[in-house]
Amino acid sequence: MNDFSWTTAAMIFVTYVAIDMLYAWYVICVGERRAVTAALLTSVIYSLLAFGVVSYSKNIFYLAPLASGAFVGTYAMVRLKKVGQ
């Protein structure tokens, strides 16, 4: 395993916050049948996911910031959606 970098961990965390917020938005767009927006979002999501996969395949300890970022991203998007209603 390669050395653990706090900078990389922070980048993974922020990336996965963004991924999960985008994924929640994607699900909303699919539910609203907004095909072009959903397709664009999924393109961005899968591009960002590659960064996480490459990172944690080199060091399993990067799964912690990845999971934390995913939690925060989904929680934030659901809360934002709830406020907007």
Whole-angstrom distance, CA of residue 57 vs CA of residue 51: 10
The answer to whether residue 83 is domain-embedded is no
* The overall pTM is greater than 0.85: no
SS3 8: helix
Angle, helix 63-84 to helix 6-31, in steps of 10 degrees: 40
For the chain, report the end-to-end CA distance as a whole number of angstroms.
46
Give me the number of domains the chain comprises.
1
Tens of pLDDT, residue by residue over 2-61, are 688 899 899 999 999 999 999 999 998 999 999 999 999 999 999 999 887 888 788 889
Provide the domain limits for residue 27: 6-76
70: Cβ contacts below 8 Å, ≥ 6 apart: 16, 17, 19, 20
The answer to whether residue 85 is domain-embedded is no
